[in-house]
Structures are given as structure tokens and as C-alpha cells.
């Protein structure tokens, strides 16, 4: 590197491949000084004016801002903040058309100037010689400095990558693009300020040599810079031949150092850093003067302007405002507005686009000045584009692949090494817009790469989430395990461990027992299995049916025993049968006891229909001497409670008796006993329902008769309520009886499991109903006769030597105790 530096100091100049010499057209604007900036009526500031990311908004609509106030912020080097060019009010934040080759819109801050041009507080670093490079870089970033040569790369980012790597610092003042003279006039008028900016850069990157490179077509600028660097041996002014595009970064590095920047690499990789002269001047104003980048020099040129000159323009100034200041007269047939030079510039749809940090020229040529294209024609493969390409590429192949959207091939042929200088399109005889194809292909590739990066980041986030969730799951399980261990240890210390272990053992035992019980097959399955075994045995012996002679004999014997038991039970009285049932515990005794209880209840129900009237008459006569009203009410309440308890017991008893009878009869014959048990249950339910229907009516009649002595009106109301309750109970009982009969029929059909059993069950039910109807009719007639006899018979009277009141009370108490004892005994037997 030392030898190279010596060669550079001696004036050694290298050359690069290709290049062209288009007409310069610089004298129209380079012979006059730069005009000062003027404040327009509206300023439109795009949030993004550089290569990189957009900053975060710091202002809102309606706020007042000062000149130099930051409007966006960011903490990364790849983002440059935007500052207010003048003081005024923020009137809108909305999308506007920007100066870009795509002609699309982006978010912009719209400011209405107040023309006071009042500055905010400036932050300068005039003692930059002692400041750390990192502090200077951060200050440059905060001032929004970006490359002003046309690319717009953030200067802070470039300086960061060049730290401790730069051997040669090159200041680009070549300005090779035709028509553009902004850098030329800046070097002529602000040469000393540019050198101060060079010193700031030297403080940051510490190069061994600094070279100010200019083309030989700028004699005034060369003279001014040489005068400014007098006495500074480490700063060299180097003049290079005029050749387009010598102002390109890689091409100028090749001219000054003779080295080529590797593909897909940066100049810092070979120890070189380059900055534009406009960028250097902006760095000087930011560091020494404390002014952010809010204005720049713009070349206004073209034959449609009355005055072609350079002018300071506030960032965000509409281009139309500048053109009006310079007497713009557009052509009627062909109006063209180009941002940049004729080689690398692009047309915009209208003149309301704003000036940005990279707007160095506004070109409005006439039709004769720059002839319009006649249209694209077929390529004749003349190879002129490859000969003039300064990057030594193959423009013809790149255009084919870009047109076919073969982006992999485009990258294989180093598409991104193209600097879009336009030399290939300039020499193409077929007038193929090669640069437009390259720009579109680059945009597509960048979009595709961005999607790949986003997908990769999403995959990484997903995998990280899975790892995190798995880690949290393991941690949670570990915590639960530790907590369980701690609880176990605490229980062992407190002595509760044995109790918990015993409880767990009991639960396990119950679970195993229940699973065993559910696994055991019922008796029906066992009987079917035995039948199948017999059939298989008979089939193996050659018989069509198995030998069931033994089963027939056993069945006949069980029938005979059942008949004997039935005759024996009929000979035993109800009370004795009940006493024997409480003493015995076998199935035979249970069957006998159940039948006896059923007969006793039926007789009691028939007797109850006669008893209430007699009891009411006795009680009413006896209580007349004590207190007619109180005695009648007390007696009625006692009788109602007794009957209600007896009815509740009568409803529950038949079902229990039927269950006992069905269990006892299971040993005789499964099918026939099932049918008989179902019939018995049906009879019991029906008898209980009949008693339930008659009882409420009888109670209501007794209560009405008794309450008649108390109060006629109240007695009438009570009687009506009692009758309504009796009707409601009867209706509910009838509906329940029908549902129960249906359930009984279903049970009978299911248990019979054959046509014969179903027919037998139906016949049995019919006979039972017929017998019941006959019995009921005979009972009703007998009851009617008894009622007539009782009506004719005289009422019982107490003995002459006995107190009538005490005798009546004693009789009522005795009857209540008898009923209570009978109910208790019945409940004990059922249990």
C-alpha cells in the first residue's frame, strides 16, 4: 500500500474498461454562481430519501415546527432522520408522488411555511479534532447526512464500515454526467468548507492519503481546491481524464488506485473509502455549524428554461416552484421532465414532485436538444453495449434473461455489478432501453430476496417458539415434580403419608373390583353359554337336539315345590305370615312374607274405606262435650296425617314386594317366573294407584264434614281446595299408572324373550284385569250394603259409668298408635 500511495502522489493514473464521451453541455449552467434558496408556499418531505429504512414519526398534524427540527428518528445506522427545512405548521401526513423512477407515492410530511425561517437549537461539534470517531459518526447520523452523488447511501453507515480499514480516502468531484454542474460550482465557491469536511472525515477514518479527484473539464474548481489544500501534504488534488462514467465509485477507484472492487463487495474491502463533495460539504455544516441536511445545490438546465443555473433548494421544495423561478416554457408537443442527467436520470409524471437529498439536477430539454426514442427494435448483436460497459458485463445476455424473468441467470451474470450508467443504451443502434430492463430485474430480485428473508425469519421464530415452549413445559413438569416431592416429604414428616397411601390403595381396590364386576358375565350369558355347550355336545354325538331330560325333571320338581309353598302360605294367616317373614331370612320365607303383606294391605285398604265415617261419627259425638270446634279440627288433621303416611308406605311397598317375589321365583323357572313377577308388580302398582285415587276424596269428605262445625264459609273454601287437590292427584296418578303399565308390558315382553312367553303374559294380564274388575265390582256392592246398614244402625254410645270425653280421646289415641305401629312394622319388614 505504501508503494501505491507513492505512485498516486507522483500523479499515476490508471484506466477502466469501456466508457463513452457524450456531449457535456455543462457551460450553460457552470458559468454563473449559485442562487440562494427561496421558501415555497408548501414543502413536501418524503420520510424516506435514502437507501435504507424509514424513520419513526415525531410530529403530528397541526404541530408547529422550527427550522432544523427533527421530524423522524431512528436508532440504526441504516436510517437517516428527516428535518424541517424551515419553520411552519404540519398540515398533512399523507402519500404524495415522489421523485423516483417508479413514479409511485410514499408517505410525506406536508408543511406550510410561516416564512419566519426560525431555527431550533443547533448542536455543533467545533472541537471535532478531539472527539471520538464513534461520537462523530453518531452525530452525522443524527443530522440526516446521506450520499448526495445520486445513490443516497447513509454516510454514517459507510463511515462505520470504513473504520480502521481505510488507507486511501477519495473525494469524488468528477461529476461526469452531462448537464450537471452542481458539484463543480460547489467546489468553486465553497472549496475551504469542503476541505474542513475532509478534515472531519480524516479524524474519523484516519487515512494515509486523501485524494480529491476531478475531471480535467473543471479548471476553475481544480484551481480553487489546490489553493485550499496548500500546506496540507496529506491531501492531494488529482485530475483524471474526462470520460463517462469516470464518476462511478468503482470506476473512479480504478482510475486513482488501479484496483478493482470485488463483485458483491465494498471499497472498504480493498482499503478505500469514497465520499461525494456535496456529502463532504454537508458533513462540515453538520459537525462544525450544527446544521442538519435541509438543503442542497440543484442544477436547473434545459433549453426550455430562460435561465439555466444552479440554485440552493430546500428539501421538499416542489420542482414546479423552481421551474417557475427560472422561466420554464414547456414544449407543447413533447413535455419532458427529467430528474438527474440524460444518462442516469429518469422522467417523472408531473412537476409537483419534491426535491430530495439525491436530487442533483432537474433537466427539461427541448425536442431538438434530446430527440425522443423511435421505439425499441430487435437486437442485431453488434456487441457495442459490451464494448462500452464500464463494469465489463454482457448487457445483451442480461437483457435477454431480464426480459424472460430468469433472475437466477441474471445474478449469475453479475446483474448487481451494473451501475446503471446508461452507456449501453446510449450506443445501442436498436434503441433498446437496457437500463430499464436491468432496473426492473433488480427490483424483482430484491423483492424475492426480501420474501425469502422474511420466510427464514418466520421459520426461525417458529423454531425458537417451539424450543421455548418445550423448555417451559420441562420447567413446569420439574416444578410440579418438585412440589409433589415436597408435599410427600411434608406428609411423611407429619404422619399423613400412611393415611393417604391407604386411601390411594382403597381407591385402586375399588377400581379393580368395579372392573372385575363389569367384566363378569351375567347369568343370562352363562345360561346361553351352557346351552351352546350342550348343543355342541349333542352335535358331536350326532343328535339333533341335546338331552334335556334332567332339566325337565328338575323343572317339574321346582313346580311341585312351588305349589306346596303356595298352599302352605294360603293356610297361614296374614299376621302370622308377617311375623314369620321378619324371623326368617331365606328366599321362601321372603316370598311368603311378601304375599302376606300384599293381602294384608289389600284388606286394610278395603277396611279403610269403611272406617273413616265411623271414626268421624264417634269422634264428633265424643268431642262435643269437650270443645266441638277444636276437637273436630284436631281429629281431622290427625286422620289426614295418618292416611298420608299409610298411602306413602303403600305406594313403595308393592314395588319392593314385586322385586322380592321376582327374585324368589327365579329359582323355579326363569321365563315363567319372570312373567309372573311382572304381572305381580303390575297388580301391586295398580292397587296402590287405586288406593291413592280413592284416599284423597275420602279425606276431603271427612275434612269437609268436620270443618262444617267450625265455620261454614271457611269450611266451603277448604272443601273446594281439597276437591281440587284430589282431582289433580288423581290425574297425575292416572298418567303415572299408564306410564308404569307401559313399562311393565315392555319388561314382560323383554323377559319372556319368545312368542310363547309373550302370548302367555298377555293372557295372564287379561285374566288378572278381568278378575280385578270382578273383585272391584263385588267390593263396591259390599261397601254400599255396609254403608246402608251403618246408616240404619244407631250410633255407638259410651257406657254409663265411663266419662264420654276421656273415652273418645283414648279411642282416638289408640287408633293412631295402632296405625303408626303397623306402618313401622311394614317399613321394617321391607327393609
Q: Tens of pLDDT along 708-762?
A: 344 545 555 555 565 666 666 556 555 554 544 444 444 444 444 445 555 555 5
> Which grid coordinates belong to 505?
390403595
User: What pLDDT, on the 0 to 100 scale, is given for residue 264?
Assistant: 81
Higher pLDDT, 320 or 646: 320
CA-only gyration radius of the chain, Å: 59
**Domain CATH number, residue 216:** 3.40.50.11540
> Which grid coordinates belong to 266?
465494498
Q: Give the C-alpha separation, 348 to 318, whole Å.
A: 12
User: What pLDDT, on the 0 to 100 scale, is given for residue 50?
Assistant: 84
Verify that 395 and 478 share a domain, yes or no.
Answer: yes
User: What pLDDT, on the 0 to 100 scale, is given for residue 791?
Assistant: 37
User: What pLDDT, on the 0 to 100 scale, is given for residue 654?
Assistant: 42
Q: Answer yes or no: are the C-beta atoms of 343 and 244 closer than 8 Å.
A: yes
How long a stretch of residues is the chain?
831
User: What pLDDT, on the 0 to 100 scale, is given for residue 652?
Assistant: 45
Task: Give CA torsion, residues 256, 259, 261, 263, to 10 deg.
Answer: 140
With a pLDDT cut of 70, the percent of the chain lying above it is 67
Higher pLDDT, 675 or 802: 675
Between the CA of residue 8 and those of 171, 199, 214, 217, 248, what are the distances in Å?
Answer: 14, 20, 14, 20, 19
User: What pLDDT, on the 0 to 100 scale, is given for residue 783?
Assistant: 43
The chain-wide mean pLDDT, for the chain, equals 77
User: What pLDDT, on the 0 to 100 scale, is given for residue 520?
Assistant: 47
Picking from 748, 582, 593, the residue whose alpha carbon sits closest to that of residue 672 is 748
User: What pLDDT, on the 0 to 100 scale, is given for residue 693?
Assistant: 41
Picking from 147, 162, 138, 136, the residue whose alpha carbon sits closest to that of residue 73 is 138
pTM exceeding 0.75 = no
84-118 pLDDT per residue, tens: 999 999 999 999 999 887 778 899 999 999 999 99
Verify that 354 and 411 share a domain, yes or no.
Answer: no
Count of domains observed in the chain: 3
Residues marked as binding? 379, 382, 385, 389, 418, 421, 424, 428
Kindly state whether residue 527 falls inside one of the protein's structural domains.
Answer: no
User: What pLDDT, on the 0 to 100 scale, is given for residue 591?
Assistant: 64
Kindly state whether residue 500 falls inside one of the protein's structural domains.
Answer: no
Q: Answer yes or no: are the C-beta atoms of 144 and 292 closer than 8 Å.
A: yes
Residues marked as binding for [4Fe-4S] cluster? 379, 382, 385, 389, 418, 421, 424, 428
Kindly state whether residue 521 falls inside one of the protein's structural domains.
Answer: no
CB count, 10 Å around CB of 532?
Answer: 11
| End position of a domain, from candidates 363, 383, 412 | 363
User: What pLDDT, on the 0 to 100 scale, is given for residue 390?
Assistant: 93
Q: Answer yes or no: are the C-beta atoms of 429 and 464 closer than 8 Å.
A: no
The residue assigned the cell 434530446 is 370
Kindly state whether residue 509 falls inside one of the protein's structural domains.
Answer: no
374-411 pLDDT per residue, tens: 888 999 999 999 999 999 999 999 999 999 999 999 99
Verify that 390 and 355 share a domain, yes or no.
Answer: no
Verify that 650 and 697 share a domain, yes or no.
Answer: yes
Verify that 344 and 415 share a domain, yes or no.
Answer: no
User: What pLDDT, on the 0 to 100 scale, is given for residue 744?
Assistant: 40
User: What pLDDT, on the 0 to 100 scale, is given for residue 213?
Assistant: 94
Taking 70 as the threshold, does the pLDDT of residue 447 lie above it?
yes
Kindly state whether residue 235 falls inside one of the protein's structural domains.
Answer: yes
Q: Coil, strand, or helix at residue 441? A: helix
Q: Give the C-alpha separation, 439 to 419, whole Å.
A: 10
Verify that 739 and 713 share a domain, yes or no.
Answer: yes
Verify that 378 and 349 share a domain, yes or no.
Answer: no
Range of the domain at 166: 28-363
Verify that 377 and 359 share a domain, yes or no.
Answer: no
Residue 174 phi, psi (nearest 5): -70, -45
pLDDT band with cut points at 50, 70 and 90 for residue 514: low
User: What pLDDT, on the 0 to 100 scale, is given for residue 501?
Assistant: 72
Average of pLDDT values for 589-608? 64
Q: Please give the angle made by the CA atoms of 564, 569 and 575, to the nearest 5 degrees.
A: 165
Average of pLDDT values for 278-298? 95
CB count, 10 Å around CB of 555?
Answer: 14
Q: Answer yes or no: are the C-beta atoms of 247 and 177 closer than 8 Å.
A: yes
Looking only at the bridges linking them, the beta strands covering 338-339 and 361-363 are: antiparallel
User: What pLDDT, on the 0 to 100 scale, is given for residue 734?
Assistant: 52
Task: Give CA torsion, residues 459, 461, 463, 467, to 10 deg.
Answer: 180
Residues 6+ apart with CB under 8 A from 301: 25, 28, 29, 179, 180, 181, 308, 361, 362, 363, 364
Question: Per mean pLDDT, which range of 186-200, 207-221, 766-780 is the poorest?
Answer: 766-780
| End position of a domain, from candidates 450, 475, 490 | 490
Residue 796 phi, psi (nearest 5): -65, 145
Residue 530 phi, psi (nearest 5): -65, -40
Taking 90 as the threshold, does the pLDDT of residue 82 lie above it?
yes
Average of pLDDT values for 654-669? 41
Taking 80 as the threshold, does the pLDDT of residue 291 lie above it?
yes
User: What pLDDT, on the 0 to 100 scale, is given for residue 790?
Assistant: 41
Kindly state whether residue 526 falls inside one of the protein's structural domains.
Answer: no
pLDDT band with cut points at 50, 70 and 90 for residue 690: very low
Kindly state whether residue 198 falls inside one of the protein's structural domains.
Answer: yes
Verify that 346 and 385 share a domain, yes or no.
Answer: no
Q: Give the C-alpha separation, 200 to 210, whole Å.
A: 12
CB count, 10 Å around CB of 135?
Answer: 12
Q: Answer yes or no: are the C-beta atoms of 240 and 216 closer than 8 Å.
A: yes
Question: Which secondary-structure segment (H or E) carries 213?
Answer: strand 209-215
Picking from 666, 664, 659, 668, the residue whose alpha carbon sits closest to that of residue 586 is 664
Question: Per mean pLDDT, which range of 207-211, 572-576, 608-612, 663-667 is the poorest?
Answer: 663-667
Asked whether the CA dihedral 407, 408, 410, 411 is positive or negative, the reply is: positive
Q: Give the C-alpha separation, 595 to 141, whole Å.
A: 109
| End position of a domain, from candidates 490, 517, 534 | 490
Q: Coil, strand, or helix at residue 394? A: coil
pLDDT band with cut points at 50, 70 and 90 for residue 58: very high
Kindly state whether residue 23 falls inside one of the protein's structural domains.
Answer: no
Verify that 343 and 390 share a domain, yes or no.
Answer: no
Taking 70 as the threshold, does the pLDDT of residue 419 lie above it?
yes
Q: Coil, strand, or helix at residue 530? A: helix
Q: Answer yes or no: are the C-beta atoms of 148 and 180 closer than 8 Å.
A: no
User: What pLDDT, on the 0 to 100 scale, is given for residue 290?
Assistant: 93
User: What pLDDT, on the 0 to 100 scale, is given for residue 796?
Assistant: 38
Question: Which secondary-structure segment (H or E) carries 208?
Answer: none
Verify that 116 and 252 share a domain, yes or no.
Answer: yes
**Domain CATH number, residue 444:** 1.10.1060
Q: Answer yes or no: are the C-beta atoms of 59 and 90 closer than 8 Å.
A: yes
Verify that 621 and 684 share a domain, yes or no.
Answer: yes
Average of pLDDT values for 479-499? 80
748-785 pLDDT per residue, tens: 444 444 455 555 555 667 676 766 666 555 444 444 44
Average of pLDDT values for 136-144? 93
Amino acid at each position: 500500500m505504501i508503494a501505491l500511495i507513492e505512485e498516486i502522489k507522483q500523479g499515476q493514473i490508471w484506466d477502466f474498461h469501456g466508457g463513452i464521451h457524450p456531449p457535456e453541455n455543462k457551460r450553460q449552467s457552470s458559468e454563473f454562481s449559485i442562487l440562494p434558496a427561496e421558501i415555497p408556499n408548501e414543502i413536501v418531505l418524503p420520510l424516506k430519501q435514502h437507501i435504507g429504512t424509514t424513520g419513526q414519526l415525531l410530529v403530528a398534524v397541526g404541530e408547529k415546527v422550527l427550522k432544523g427540527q427533527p421530524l423522524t428518528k431512528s436508532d440504526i445506522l441504516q436510517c437517516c432522520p428527516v428535518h424541517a427545512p424551515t419553520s411552519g405548521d404540519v398540515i398533512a401526513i399523507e402519500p404524495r408522488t415522489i421523485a423516483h423512477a417508479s413514479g409511485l407515492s410514499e408517505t410525506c410530511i406536508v408543511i406550510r411555511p410561516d416564512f419566519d425561517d426560525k431555527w431550533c437549537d443547533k448542536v455543533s461539534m467545533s472541537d471535532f479534532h478531539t472527539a471520538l470517531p464513534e461520537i462523530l459518526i453518531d452525530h452525522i447520523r443524527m443530522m440526516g447526512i446521506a450520499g448526495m452523488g445520486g445513490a443516497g447511501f447513509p454516510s454514517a453507515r459507510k463511515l462505520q464500515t470504513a473504520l480502521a480499514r481505510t488507507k486511501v480516502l477519495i473525494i469524488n468531484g468528477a461529476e461526469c454526467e452531462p448537464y450537471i454542474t452542481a458539484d463543480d460550482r460547489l467546489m468553486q465557491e465553497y472549496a475551504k468548507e469542503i476541505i474542513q469536511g475532509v478534515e472531519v472525515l480524516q479524524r474519523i477514518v484516519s487515512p494515509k492519503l486523501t485524494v480529491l479527484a476531478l475531471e480535467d473539464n473543471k479548471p476553475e474548481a481544480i484551481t480553487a481546491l489546490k489553493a485550499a489544500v496548500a500546506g496540507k501534504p496529506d491531501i492531494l488534488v488529482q485530475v483524471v481524464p474526462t470520460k463517462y462514467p469516470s464518476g462511478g465509485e468503482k470506476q473512479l477507484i480504478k482510475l486513482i488506485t488501479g484496483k478493482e472492487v470485488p463483485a458483491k463487495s465494498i471499497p472498504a474491502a480493498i482499503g478505500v473509502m469514497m465520499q461525494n463533495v456535496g456529502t463532504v460539504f454537508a458533513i462540515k455544516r453538520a459537525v462544525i455549524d450544527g446544521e442538519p441536511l435541509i438543503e442542497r445545490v440543484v442544477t436547473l438546465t434545459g433549453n426550455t428554461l430562460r435561465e439555466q443555473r444552479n440554485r440552493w433548494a430546500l428539501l421538499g421544495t416542489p420542482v414546479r416552484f423552481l421551474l417557475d423561478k427560472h422561466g420554464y416554457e414547456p414544449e407543447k408537443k413533447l413535455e419532458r421532465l427529467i430528474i438527474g442527467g440524460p444518462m442516469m436520470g429518469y422522467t417523472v409524471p408531473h412537476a409537483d414532485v419534491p426535491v430530495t437529498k439525491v436530487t442533483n439536477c432537474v433537466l427539461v430539454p427541448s425536442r431538438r436538444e434530446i430527440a425522443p426514442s423511435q421505439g425499441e427494435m430487435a437486437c442485431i448483436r453488434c456487441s457495442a453495449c459490451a464494448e462500452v460497459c464500464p463494469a465489463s458485463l454482457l448487457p445483451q445476455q442480461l437483457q435477454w434473461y431480464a426480459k424472460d424473468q430468469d433472475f437466477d441467470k441474471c445474478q449469475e451474470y453479475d446483474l448487481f455489478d451494473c451501475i446503471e450508467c446508461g452507456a449501453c443504451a446510449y450506443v445501442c443502434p436498436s434503441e433498446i432501453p437496457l437500463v430499464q430492463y436491468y432496473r426492473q430485474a433488480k427490483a424483482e430480485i430484491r423483492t424475492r430476496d426480501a420474501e425469502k428473508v422474511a420466510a427464514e425469519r418466520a421459520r426461525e421464530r417458529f423454531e425458537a417458539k417451539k424450543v421455548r415452549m418445550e423448555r417451559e413445559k420441562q420447567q413446569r413438569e420439574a416444578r410440579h415434580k418438585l412440589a409433589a416431592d415436597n408435599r410427600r416429604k411434608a406428609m411423611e414428616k407429619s404422619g399423613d403419608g400412611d393415611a393417604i397411601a391407604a386411601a390411594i390403595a382403597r381407591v385402586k381396590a375399588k377400581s379393580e373390583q368395579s372392573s372385575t364386576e363389569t367384566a363378569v358375565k351375567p347369568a343370562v350369558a352363562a345360561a346361553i353359554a351352557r346351552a351352546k355347550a350342550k348343543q355342541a355336545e349333542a352335535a358331536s354325538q350326532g343328535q339333533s337336539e341335546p338331552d334335556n331330560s334332567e332339566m325337565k325333571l328338575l323343572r317339574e320338581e321346582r313346580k311341585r315345590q312351588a305349589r306346596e309353598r303356595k298352599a302352605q302360605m294360603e293356610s297361614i294367616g296374614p299376621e302370622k305370615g308377617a311375623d314369620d317373614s321378619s324371623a326368617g331370612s331365606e328366599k321362601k320365607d321372603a316370598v311368603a312374607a311378601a304375599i302376606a303383606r300384599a293381602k294384608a294391605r289389600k284388606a286394610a285398604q278395603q277396611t279403610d274405606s269403611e272406617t273413616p265415617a265411623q271414626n268421624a261419627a264417634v269422634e264428633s259425638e265424643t268431642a262435643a262435650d269437650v270443645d266441638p270446634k277444636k276437637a273436630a279440627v284436631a281429629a281431622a288433621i290427625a286422620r289426614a296425617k295418618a292416611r298420608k303416611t299409610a298411602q306413602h308406605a303403600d305406594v313403595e311397598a308393592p314395588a319392593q314386594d314385586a322385586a322380592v317375589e321376582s327374585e324368589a321365583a327365579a329359582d323355579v323357572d326363569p321365563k315363567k317366573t319372570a312373567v309372573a313377577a311382572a304381572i305381580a308388580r303390575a297388580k301391586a302398582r295398580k292397587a296402590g294407584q287405586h288406593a291413592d285415587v280413592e284416599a284423597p276424596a275420602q279425606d276431603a269428605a271427612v275434612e269437609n264434614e268436620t270443618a262444617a262445625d267450625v265455620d261454614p264459609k271457611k269450611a266451603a273454601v277448604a272443601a273446594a281446595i281439597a276437591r281440587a287437590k284430589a282431582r289433580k292427584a288423581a290425574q297425575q296418578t292416572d298418567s303415572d299408572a299408564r306410564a308404569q303399565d307401559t313399562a311393565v308390558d315392555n319388561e314382560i315382553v323383554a323377559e319372556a324373550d319368545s312368542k310363547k312367553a309373550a302370548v302367555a303374559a298377555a293372557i295372564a294380564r287379561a285374566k288378572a284385569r278381568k278378575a280385578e274388575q270382578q273383585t272391584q265390582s263385588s267390593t263396591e256392592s259390599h261397601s254400599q250394603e255396609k254403608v246402608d246398614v251403618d246408616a240404619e244402625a244407631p250410633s255407638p254410645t259410651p257406657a254409663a259409668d265411663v266419662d264420654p270425653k276421656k273415652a273418645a280421646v283414648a279411642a282416638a289415641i289408640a287408633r293412631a298408635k295402632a296405625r303408626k305401629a303397623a306402618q313401622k312394622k311394614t317399613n321394617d319388614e321391607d327393609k
